[in-house]
Amino acid sequence: NAGVTQTPKFQVLKTGQSMTLQCAQDMNHEYMSWYRQDPGMGLRLIHYSVGAGITDQGEVPNGYNVSRSTTEDFPLRLLSAAPSQTSVYFCASRKTRETYEQYFGPGTRLTVT
Amino acid sequence: DAKTTQPPSMDCAEGRAANLPCNHSTISGNEYVYWYRQIHSQGPQYIIHGLKNNETNEMASLIITEDRKSSTLILPHATLRDTAVYYCIVRVKRRDSSYKLIFGSGTRLLVRP
């Protein structure tokens, strides 16, 4: 299994541009989520999904959209990038909403100028 | 939501036990304590979790006080590869029965040769 994969690894955007961060898992996990991590801080939850077709907001959802059309993929969209969205983004998955062990991807480092 | 408090940094000698403390004085009776670690800039890695009883696995031991207001993660024989940021996390149940992990700032553990 490849586990949780994320692309791209690095991205630089100009203010106002849009882009999609890709996340995929091959473990048939129902639950997937997106976090952002700012320097010196822990992770904050952006959006999550408990299964295909179901998404919900986390702590810091503003400026981000998600969709979950398949079990495997959970893309994160920035509609109009802002410098405040400069961060490292981690995608994570776990088998079900109750499962205790969560697997994280390697992260995408995004800079918005 | 329950919050955790950890020292910002600690160090220990290679081969010795590393004891990482965590306070979670506002934890509710059904909320689990989780520990994850993040090596350099990688995605966080699950270590261990517990509710009331002490727990041990191949990576670490978790000691939870009887009043559940604090816990200690023990790495019995720390190696240089254990140098990382360690997060003590409380798992909180949402209304849709899924769970969210509330990350704090973590403890940066440096294992010295």
The pLDDT value given to residue A78: 96
Could you tell me the pLDDT band of residue B1, with boundaries at 50, 70 and 90? low
Residue numbers in B near A51 (CB within 8 A): none
Most confident by average pLDDT, A66-75, A89-98, B26-35: A66-75
What mean pLDDT comes out for the span B20-37?
Answer: 91
User: B43 and A58: CB-CB below 8 Å?
Assistant: no
Per-residue pLDDT, B31: 87
Per the document, the length of chain B is 113
Distances B53 to A74, A104, B63, B77 between C-alpha atoms, Å? 36, 27, 8, 22
Instruction: Look at residue B95 in the predicted model and tell me its pLDDT.
Output: 78
Interface test with B, best of A101, A103, A108, A109 (most B CBs within 10 A): A101
Closest CB to B99: pick one of A40, A58, A98: A98
Residue B13 is predicted with a pLDDT of 97
For B97, which of A4, A97, A105 is closest by C-beta distance? A97
Residue B59 reports pLDDT greater than 90: yes
Distance CA B54, CA B49 (A): 9
Beta carbons of B103 and A44 less than 8 Å apart: yes
Chain B closest-CA separation from residue A22 CA (Å):
15
- Whether the pLDDT of residue B97 is over 80: the answer is no
Under 8 Å between Cβ of B28 and B34: no
User: Distances from the Cα of A75 to the Cαs of A45, A68, A108, B104, in angstroms?
Assistant: 14, 7, 12, 25
| Inter-chain CB proximity B96 and A88 less than 8 Å | no
Nearest to B42 among A44, A50, A106 (CB): A106
Considering only A52-56, B52-56, B92-96, which range has the smallest mean pLDDT?
Answer: B92-96
For A13-72, the pLDDT digits (tens) are 999 999 999 999 999 999 999 999 998 778 899 999 999 999 999 989 999 999 999 999
Closest Cα in chain A, distance from residue B10 (Å): 15
Look at residue B44 in the predicted model and tell me its pLDDT.
Answer: 93
Q: Would you give the DSSP letter of residue B44? A: P
Asked whether the beta carbons of A4 and A23 are under 8 A apart, the reply is: yes
Question: What count of CB pairs under 8 Å joins A to B?
Answer: 55
Instruction: Report the candidate in B57, B69, B65, B61 with the shortest Cα–Cα distance to residue B3.
Output: B69
Collect all residues of chain A within an 8 Å Cβ-Cβ radius of residue B106.
42
- Closest CB to B44: pick one of A44, A45, A104: A104
Q: Averaged over B26-52, what is the pLDDT?
A: 91
Contact A106 B32 (CB under 8 A): no
